[in-house]
Amino acid sequence: MIKNLDTAYKVQGIIGILVVVFYTTQGQALASGYGFFVGLVNIAMLQWTFARANKKAAEDPKAGMLILYTSAVIRFILLAVLFVLGLSYLDQSEAFPVIITFVLMQIGQLFNLKGKRRLTD
């Protein structure tokens, strides 16, 4: 499980770096870099949560699922706060690179889900 997350982490990191390089050529490196940062925070939280959930699920499967559900709520709120903070400090014209960088990095998560029925497989 953790190995798969490491692969997804690498794929998302590569996608993020490529998008940041592209936006750097457009003069929007800071905005794209912030989107990259938000994506990395999301990946790190997901990886940390899966490790905790797997460890807890060995003792109590319901507790492991509770950790995953709680993590989803926390990550949703954290990402909303990070986006609001970042976009409030950037120019309005720089919102697009932040969002595009983050979204493209999240698409990289599809490589982790290939061939799975559930997220926890």
Percent over 70 (pLDDT), the chain = 86
Contact between residue 5 and residue 70 where contact means Cβ atoms under 8 Å apart: no
pLDDT at 108: 82
| DSSP sequence for 66-109 | HHHHHHHHHHHHHHHHHHHHHHHHS-GGGHHHHHHHHHHHHHTT
**What is the chain's mean pLDDT, rounded?**
85
Amino acid residing at 62: K
Predicted TM-score (pTM) above 0.85: no
Residue-wise pLDDT tens digits, 23-51:
999 999 999 999 999 999 998 898 888 88
